[in-house]
Each structure stands twice: as structure tokens, then as C-alpha cells.
Chain A
Amino acid sequence: MTAATRRPRRARRLRERIGKGVLYACLIAAAAFLLVPFFWMLSSSLKQNNQVFTIPIRWIPETFKWSNYVDIWTKSGMSDWLKNTMILSVVVTLLQVFTGSFAAYGFSRIRFPGRDVLFLGYIATIAVPWQAYMIPQYKMMASLGLVDTLWSIILLQAFGAFGVFLMKQFYETIPEDLSESARLDGLSEYGIYRRIMLPLSVPAIASLSLLMFVTTWNDFLGPRLYLRTPSNFTIQVGLKVFQADPQGSSMYGLMFTGSVLSVLPIAIIFMAGQRYFVEGIATTGMKG
């Protein structure tokens, strides 16, 4: 190797390094920008109730009220709420992923009359605001005796069109040849779904699971309407207990303490779960 070839290479390396530095600086600035409200929430969770909303805003509490993090466990049903939310999120996610991916296979890989109209109908219902039909739906649930049970939320959330649509779009990126050759090998449609489609769609299933989990975890309106006994509350409903009507006094400090605690499990799941949808499992799988 001559000196002449080495110099541009060194220059390029330097340029790459500078580029990387700039990239990281930008990313860190962007991350700060994205995390500011969370930081404010964290700071408010350590404040007294009357010091949460002030002019000018205080980013660091005047006095740290660490006891908020003790009080929320002892003075509220936080542990019940956490348990209920966890049960709901897990069950709803499992049901949605299973029924959604199963139905998506029918919509994307099997031709039958009326399929496309049905699919369009599925998606179009997403456009109807829930508030507009929540009363008729509530009456149905009430006549089944499901009000104030976790079942109502499971039924409400588990069969949405979202998962079906997401999985269908993903299946369309998997080449039909794969299933065709499997069919020639004598695999049934159910076999193709289980042996070929499911393993190949791990990134989609991972992202669907995560999104469903988060949606159920943070869902407010449905649980607010259906869950009435404090021991049946989810976290989001429970936290509203701290927010009084205009005539009362709200416990904003505790409310944000609860908000911080409710974000943490999701952040952990997200950190841990991302390798399933960013590490190119599908690509390696398809090579076979």
C-alpha cells in the first residue's frame, strides 16, 4: 500500500468520524426534545400538588416530595390497578395477535367472493368514533352482565380491525412462491399459516404486540366507562381519582407519580423487545 492511497483513506475516515459526531449530536438534541415532557412529568411527580402548575414553570421541585412514591402504593389501589392493566394488556394482545394474524391470512391468501368488500368494511369501521356508539354497545354489555368486569374490556379491545389490517399488509410482502411450494409439498392452508407465515412475520407480530400492548395499557375511555369498582380499575382510570372536579382539590403530584410508574413497564418492554423487529429476522428466514 502506498502513501498516496493511504492519505485519502485517512481523510475519509476523518470525515466519517466527523459525520458520526454530528449525527450523534443531532440525535441527542432530538432525544432531549422528545423527552422534555417526560422529564417535566418526572419532576412534577416529586412536587406538592399546588406547585405542579406555576408561572414560571419549575423544572426542579422546590422541595422534593419523595413520599409521593410511597403514598401512591399505600394510599391508592395502585397495585390492583397495575395487576388489572397487566392482565388486560397481555390477554388483549394475545387475542388480537392470534385472531388478527389468522384472519389476515384469510384476507390475503385465500380468494373467495366478497372478500375485498368485507375487508374494506373492516377498515371503514375504524373511522366511526367510539363515543358515537358507546351507549348502544354499553347496553349490550350490560345485558350480558359484563359491566364492571375485566371481560368487558377484553371483548371490546381484542377483535379490532387494526391487527387484521397490519398483518395482511405484512403477509403481502412474503412471496407467494413460498406457500405455493409448501402446497406442493402437501401442506394445508393452516399448515402454511403456522409453519411459514407465522415464523416469517415475527417483526410484524412483534410490532403489533407492542402497539396493542401500549394501546390497551393506555386506553382510557373504554375502561373509564366500564370499570366502576376501584379494585377493578386500570392504571389510567385509577390515576383520574387524583384529579378532582373543579370544586375539589386535585392531587397532581400523586397523579404524575402514577403516570411515571405507568410509563416505566412500557419503556422496559420496548427496550427489550425491539430486537425482534429491527434485526432482520425475516430477511434471513426468506433466504431458505
Chain B
Amino acid sequence: MSTTAIEPAPPPTRPRKRRSALRWHNTLRGWSFIAPNFIGFAALTLVPIIILFYVSLTEWGALGDPKWIGEENFTKLFTRDMRFRTALWNTLYYTIVHMPLTLVASLGLAVLLNRKMRGAAFFRTAAFFPYITSIVAIAMVWNLMFSPDYGPINQILRFFGVDNPPGWTVSSTWAMPAVIVVGTWREMGYYMLLFLAGLQTIPRELYEAATVDGAGAWSRFWHVTVPCLRPTTFFVTVMLTIGSMKVFDLVFVMTEGGPGRSTLVISQLIWQQAFAEGDFGYASAISVVLFAICLVLTLIQFWVNRRAER
């Protein structure tokens, strides 16, 4: 029993008899499970999102009736709007660096803290603390650490002989790396928690068997932990990607998109367009593009995950 348990979950298979009746039965049963969540989800999230898709083809200032303008918003978005291009690039930059960094850091933390040791509970809580600390306090302290003249980070850099340390949050080149570091620092405890839960599903017998076969700690990690964590890793990867593509509040409190537009991200652009400039149609069009990009990324992740499943 316990040896079959280790296999990554096989896709549910069912006896191939009385197919159509079974299919009808299954559809009904499947929906009966999904319905309680789906009804709330459809009414409160799906309907507004469908409206958003419609609004993206209109000119709408949130007041009065939307005016149909077809694909005009999208034309402007892809041909004229330099700010959108910058925001898209910045968002991708953030995602591409922040995603793997956070994945590795949170998995590392989870493996490190998934043991019986004195104080483990305290360290796990400490790792989670950045996520619950007020974001204003986080922005304050990190901005201070990055402060070009007085900040400890640059003092250390100068100590090691770097004559011209970066200006971090007040430099258009270094602001994004600074934001990424803080983003990773803040979120790793959150994803660590998910990995910790995932680690509990790996049967101890597997590690014991691997040890008997002479596998070292590193080899056990690669051949037992990583494959068995695949469902969790998949979840974390998808959520992290979408979360990074939507990043907003952290960037806003740290740099407000500046200096210039060097840390302007898509979500902030959407906010600006909608609430500062009153152009909800255009903001919706940007949201649709963001949605499409995330959908493609998620599909790729699903596909990779399926292949690994086999």
C-alpha cells in the first residue's frame, strides 16, 4: 500500500462500461461538488470580469453608459502607447527574476525548517513575519537600507571597495532589482508555508528506502523531495507567476513606479488609466492583455506539468 502511495497521483481512471449514463452521472456529481463555490464565484467574479471584457471594447469613464469603439483601445495599446510597452517590459522583468528566486528561497526555507529542532516554530514564524508586517513599515525600512548615502547596504559595499555603489530605489537602473529583492524577502515565507504542507505528503518510508540504497542528502532531495512535491510546486509556480505579473502594492509603496517610469508595472498603469485619467475602457483593455499573457503562461505550465506527470 505504502509503495503505491508514492507514485504521483495517476489520473482518475474508471471502468469503461455504460459510458453515457456514467458520463451524465459524473457530470451531475462533478457539478454538485463544484456548485457551492462556483455559484458565488460566477456571480461575484465571473460576471464583473465578463463586463470588463465588454468594457475593453468601449470608451467608458465609469459613469453613464459605455460607448462602443471596437478594437480602438487595443490599437492604441499596441501601436502608440510607449508607457504600456515600458510597463509590460518592467512587469516581465520583475516576473522573470522574482519568480524563480522566490521559488528557490521558499523551497529552501521549507526544507530547512521541516525538521524537529529546538526553536523551529520560532524560525518558521519569523520567516512568515515579513508577509504580515505592515507594508508601510517594510517600505520604510528597506528604503532606508537601500538609502544611497546612509544605507547599510551601500556602507557594506563601500567597505568592500565598491567606490560607486548603486543608488537603488532612486536609480532608474537599480530600482527594479531593489524592488525584486524586497518582493522575494516578503513572499518567501508565504510560499514556504505551502511547501511545508506539501512536504508532509511525502511518506517517510521513501526517504528510508533511499537512505538504505545509499543516497546522500542531496540525492534524496533531488530524487524523492522534488518529484513528490510536484503538485505543490506546480501550484506555487502558477500562483507566483500570476502574482508577479499583477504586482502592485509593493512597487507602489517603495517607488511609486519611479524614478521616471523605471518601475512602472502593468497593474499600476491600469490603476492610473482608470482612476487618475478616468479611462476605464483603456484600463480594461490593458487588463485583458494581462489576462491573456497570464493565460498563456499558465497553459504552458499546465502542459509542462502534464508532461512531467507521465
Contacts and interface: CB of A to CB of B under 8 A. Distances in A.
Interface string A39-55: 01100100000000101
DSSP majority for the B interface?
A: helix
B193 interface: yes
A115 B34 CA distance: 10
B231 A270 contact: no
Interface string B115-151: 0000111111111111111101110111010000010
B77 interface: no
A214 interface: yes
Contacts, number: 290
Interface stretch (A2-10, A61-69, A73-81, A99-107): A99-107
A176 to B, nearest CB: 6
B174 to A, nearest CB: 20
Nearest to A137: B48
B234 to A, nearest CB: 6
Nearest to A207: B197
A126 interface: yes
A133 B36 contact: no
Contacts of A281: 200
Given A40-B137, A113-B27, A278-B200, A27 B123 contact: yes
B201 A129 contact: no
B76 to A, nearest CB: 17
A91 interface: no
B133 A31 contact: no
A283 B39 CA distance: 34
B74 interface: no
A204 interface: yes
Interface string A80-119: 0000000000000000001110110111111111010010
B92 interface: no
A57 interface: yes
B228 interface: yes
A112 B30 contact: yes
A44 B26 contact: no
B36 A35 contact: no
A11 interface: no
Interface string A105-148: 11111111101001010111111110111111100100000000
Contacts of A189: 29, 33
A191 interface: no
Contacts of A161: 41, 45
Nearest to B200: A203
A24 B126 CA distance: 14
A227 interface: no
A89 B133 CA distance: 17
B238 interface: yes
Size bin of chain A's contact surface: 35 or more
Interface stretch (B80-88, B165-173, B214-222, B284-292): B284-292
A110 B30 contact: yes
A194 B2 CA distance: 22
A202 to B, nearest CB: 9
A240 to B, nearest CB: 10
A170 B201 contact: yes
A173 B228 contact: yes
A282 B270 contact: no
Interface string A165-203: 110011111111100000000000100010000000001
A140 B204 contact: no
Given A103-B34, A140-B43, 14 more contacts: A102-B37, A105-B33, A110-B33, A111-B26, A113-B23, A124-B295, A129-B287, A132-B270, A133-B49, A160-B41, A161-B41, A173-B201, A263-B134, A287-B2
Q: Closest 7 interchain pairs by CB? A: A106-B33, A159-B40, A127-B294, A99-B37, A132-B287, A112-B30, A172-B9
Interface of A: 24, 27, 30-31, 34-38, 40-41, 44, 53, 55-57, 98-100, 102-103, 105-113, 115, 118, 120, 122-129, 131-137, 140, 155-156, 158-166, 169-177, 189, 193, 203-204, 206-207, 210-211, 214, 218, 255-256, 259, 262-263, 266-267, 270-271, 274, 277-283, 286-287
Interface of B: 1-2, 4-5, 7-10, 12-14, 23, 26-27, 29-34, 36-41, 43-49, 51-52, 55, 62, 114, 119-134, 136-138, 140-142, 144, 150, 185, 189-190, 193-194, 196-198, 200-204, 228, 231-232, 234-235, 238-239, 242, 245-246, 248, 266-267, 270-271, 274-275, 280, 283-284, 286-287, 290-291, 293-295, 298-299, 302
